[in-house]
Amino acid sequence: MEEQRSQQGEIWRGIGVAALLHLIQIPLAVFTMFVSLIFVGISQLVYIIPAIIFYWRDGRRSVVTGLVIAAAITFLLNATCTVLVFSSLSFH
């Protein structure tokens, strides 16, 4: 039972780390002239992949699971919002 709690805590830690890493989007947006904010789901790979590699090598697979969950949710939300915005624009 204690091991399962520990594993769940590590998954939540991964989600929290990903949320904090998303703050990197602020300076990244300045360098990309705010294009990275439109494509957050893709630009997050700049910092999520190194974090995954770091925790994987450290043997903390549950944190990696949390990072992947947070990155997937971010990607899906960003893709949905981008499609909604671009579909509402009229290019006539």
Q: How far apart are the first and last CA of the chain?
A: 60
Closest to 81 (Cα-Cα) out of 29, 18, 36, 38: 38
Q: What parts of the chain have a pLDDT lower than 50? A: none
Closest to 55 (Cα-Cα) out of 36, 42, 71: 71
pLDDT given for residue 46 in this prediction: 92
How do residues 68-84 score in pLDDT, each as one tens digit?
A: 999 999 999 999 998 89
pTM (predicted TM-score):
0.87
What average pLDDT does the structure give for the chain? 91
Cβ atoms of residues 67 and 48 within 8 Å: yes
Q: Which domain holds residue 6?
A: 2-88
Number of domains into which the chain is organized: 1
